[in-house]
Amino acid sequence: MRKKIIAGNWKMNKGPDAAREFAVEMTPKVDGGAADVVFCVPYVSLLAALDAAKGTFVAIGAQNMHFEDAGAYTGEVSPGMLKELGVKYVIIGHSERRAYFGETDDIVNKKAKAALVHGLMPILCVGESLEQRNLGITIEHVRIQVKIAFDGISAVDAEKIVIAYEPIWAIGTGVTATAQQAEEACAAVRQVVAELYGQPIADKIRIQYGGSVTADNAAELFAQPNIDGGLVGGASIKADFDRIVNYQ
């Protein structure tokens, strides 16, 4: 039985003060339940969020990182730096990073490997555009993204990765994939993992759905056999985020 994992992607919202305030308020409401809970906060708010979640089961994640250990990469943050702070998870390959910051499948693969080397758990995002869905190539596209992202990653490491299936057309749009669409894609993702690593690893790996998850649609989405929780954007910084975590 896979434990659900529900992660909030705060995106570029909440500086240290607001992050601390929100985390102090939300943590007791989402702590110690049936699901793993992660707050993925902006870099500058990591310390405040870590401090606010101290002594609880709520984990803190970053939203990005560089793949190199150190060096002349102005403005970047390395996996080791995140690890040193006490960060547990890192979102990799979010569609906004792919669209606005030129992240390719190859970069996503390098970042996933670097995160694992440093003991960070990647939340690795894949998903199709509306155009790709309309062309009927959703599954092919997602299969390619997963295959490249996992290239060169051992089975032992692979099962530490959380995959977030996020159709781009559903992100921040208020349009949610139907439970059936989400399940179909998540099942396809699990199938690729089975082809790469065998069924036992595929049965263990956790696959989230992301894209306009709300307190009202979470229960139906998370009830699907291949959906192990969600990556939640807009609704993760709302006062009723706990309703998504405690969806049952």
Catalytically active residues are 94, 166
CA–CA dist 62, 32 (Å, integer) = 21
Query: Is residue 64 at the binding interface for ligand PGA, with CB under 6 A as the rule?
Result: no
Shortest gap between Cβ of 17 and ligand PGA (angstroms)?
23
Q: Which stretch binds ligand PGA (CB under 6 A): 30-38, 63-71, 73-81, 164-172?
A: 164-172
119 sits near ligand PGA (criterion: CB under 6 A): no
Find the part of the chain contacting ligand PGA (CB under 6 A) among 22-30, 135-143, 148-156, 204-212: 204-212
Q: Write the CA distances from 32 to 15, 38, 73, 218, integer angstroms.
A: 26, 12, 38, 19
Q: Which amino acid is at 98?
A: R
Q: Give the whole-angstrom CA distance, residue 215 versus residue 240.
A: 7
Tokens for 213, please give them.
């998850």
| Segment 165 to 194, residues that bind ligand PGA, using CB under 6 A | 166, 171-172
Query: Least CB distance from residue 233 to ligand PGA, whole Å?
Result: 2
Q: Where are the alpha helices (DSSP H) in 118-213?
A: 130-135, 138-149, 155-158, 179-197, 199-204
Asked if 105 contacts 113 with a C-beta cutoff of 8 angstroms, the reply is no
Q: Could you tell me if 212 and 181 are in contact, meaning their C-beta atoms sit under 8 angstroms apart?
A: no
30 or 197, CB closer to ligand PGA?
30
Q: Indicate the burial class of 230 (C-beta count within 10 angstroms; 0-12, 13-18, 19 or more).
A: buried
Task: Return the range that interacts with ligand PGA (CB under 6 A); candidates 151-159, 195-203, 215-223, 228-236.
Answer: 228-236
Among the listed residues 42, 79, 122, 210, the single contact to ligand PGA using CB under 6 A: 210
CB of residue 91 to ligand PGA, shortest distance in Å: 8
Letters for 8-47 (x = contact with ligand PGA by CB under 6 A, - = none) are: -x--------------------------------------
Report the C-alpha gap between 132 and 161 in whole angstroms. Answer: 25
- Joined together, the tokens standing for residue 144 give 């390619």
* Tokens read off for 215: 């307190």
Asked if 232 touches ligand PGA (CB under 6 A), the answer is: yes
Least distance in angstroms from the C-beta of 93 to ligand PGA: 11
Number of residues that bind ligand PGA (CB under 6 A): 13
Binding site for ligand PGA (CB under 6 A): 9, 166, 171-172, 210-213, 231-235
